[in-house]
Amino acid sequence: MEATEIRKLAALEDTHWWYRERRTLLARALRRLSAAGTPAGTALDIGAAGGGNTRVLRAHGWRPLALEYSQEGAEVAAERGLDVIRADARNLPLPSGGLDLVVAFDILEHIDEDHLAAGEIHRTLRPGGTALIAVPCDMKLWSAHDVAVGHVRRYTRETLTAVVEKAGLVVDDLWSWNVLLRPVAAWRRRKSTGSDLDDMPAIVNTALTAIITAERYLPVKSLPSVSLMLTARKP
């Protein structure tokens, strides 16, 4: 992702409906882990960018490390008071079996050798450790936005499951996210000439927030969507 896009993301993520809901979903996943008896421990946030997800981890008692490939992203995370390292997700400078949790939200689609990144997630997790992964889905939605933000692919359920299982992880749950707004996204992507990471009028942001929030309570997790989310564990 270009430096300008990273800075744009950092400026938007505190208020933008998409990033706010994604942080909510992360928080819910952390609460489920806690309820299942998993204590907060060491966590890695791959592709932390502005550090929004890293801060959620910290707020829930985890000891998170933010990881960024780009200098710009690492600088943004450091400016926000986060522990951060620069590294390639395909070659993590971390010992094997030392992490309790790895979060990789919207990372794999940026990497040609996504299987190597998934393999590193597996290697660095302790046995029983958890991976939380999110990716954009469906090449029918491919657009100038994907090019602008550095995507090399969008996934299907089958291709995401394959890369995760090839790495040695066991998929516990896989679901669709951003289902209700898929028609809007498809329409906008057909007209797009670049990234759609833009600020928007407050009333529009509020309306989209209401729609994406409603999705939490509806039986839509198996329907066509804009993104896929996955929970996996290391045996």
CB 39 within 8 A of CB 126: no
Beta-carbon contacts of residue 51 (< 8 Å; ≥ 6 apart): 10, 45, 66, 76, 77, 80, 82, 84
How distant, in Å, are the alpha carbons of 15, 55, 222, 227 from that of 124? Answer: 32, 21, 30, 25
Q: Give the up-direction half-sphere exposure of residue 213: CA atoms within 13 A in the CB hemisphere.
A: 9
* Rg of the chain, C-alpha, whole Å: 17
Residue 1 has pLDDT above 60, yes or no: no
| C-alpha to C-alpha distance for 127 and 133, rounded to whole angstroms | 18
Report the pLDDT value the prediction gives residue 11, as an integer from 0 to 100: 74
Beta-carbon contacts of residue 58 (< 8 Å; ≥ 6 apart): 64, 82
Boundaries of every domain in the chain:
3-233
Q: What's the whole-number average pLDDT of the chain?
A: 92
Please name the residue that has the structure tokens 């329409």: 187
CATH number for the domain whose boundaries are 3-233? 3.40.50.150
The DSSP bridge partners found for residue 46 are 67
| C-alpha to C-alpha distance for 51 and 45, rounded to whole angstroms | 8
Report the pLDDT value the prediction gives residue 190, as an integer from 0 to 100: 79
* pLDDT tens for each residue of 219-228: 999 999 999 9
Report the pLDDT value the prediction gives residue 196, as an integer from 0 to 100: 64
**Residue 53: count of CB within 10 angstroms of its CB:** 28
* pLDDT tens for each residue of 119-139: 999 999 999 999 999 999 999
- Strand 42-46: give its sheet, edge to edge: 84-86, 63-68, 42-46, 99-105, 125-136, 227-233, 170-177
Give the CA angle between residues 135, 228, 86 to the nearest 5°.
25
DSSP H or E segment with residue 59? helix 52-59
Report the pLDDT value the prediction gives residue 4, as an integer from 0 to 100: 63
* pLDDT tens for each residue of 29-87: 999 999 999 999 999 999 998 899 999 999 999 999 999 988 888 888 898 899 999 99
